[in-house]
Amino acid sequence: MWFRVDPRLPTPVYQQVVDGIKEAVAKGLLKPRDRLPAVRELAMLMMLNHNTVAKAYQELERERVIEVIRGRGTYVAAPSLLANRSERIVKMSETIKQLCVEAYYLQMTEDDLLTLFQDLMNEWKREKGRNNT
């Protein structure tokens, strides 16, 4: 499977499934038109209840990450422009501000933070590149 879930973590299990699949798609591990496992099948693999997986799939469909065709299955959606784009950018900005706050308490300078950011982004690009040849 493309990700792991851990019921002991504070983040809800269904959210971990959502995040895991979103990350796999963004990385290119899953490509548009790829088929995802059935809710009961993925639930079996991950030792979860099928309702938990179904909740994750519904959230992913709401975010237009996947497309559901009743009676056929679920598929990775083609990239599309999102209606709530600006709203989501505001949330990203909030997250970045929190990173600045956290850096303060770790006694990192702004340059330290920028370097960390660039390093991780390059690592991300490399990972993505490996799946997009």
Binding residues (CB under 8 A) for its own copies: these are: 19, 22-23, 25-26, 63, 65, 79, 81-82, 85, 88-89, 92-93, 95-107, 110, 113-114, 116-118, 120-121, 124-125
List the one residue from 51, 93, 115, 122 that touches DNA (CB under 7 A). Answer: 51
Instruction: Determine if 40 is a binding residue for DNA (CB under 7 A).
Output: yes
The 64-93 site mask, x for binding DNA (CB under 7 A), equals ----xxxxxxx-------------------
How buried is residue 64: exposed, middle or buried, by Cβ count under 10 Å (0-12/13-18/19+)? middle
- Dist CA 37 CA 126 (whole Å): 27
CA angle (59 as vertex; 58, 61 as ends), nearest 5 = 65
Closest to DNA by CB, 10 vs 83, is 10
Helix runs in the chain, H state only: 13-27, 39-46, 50-62, 85-105, 110-130
Closest to its own copies by CB, 30 vs 43, is 30
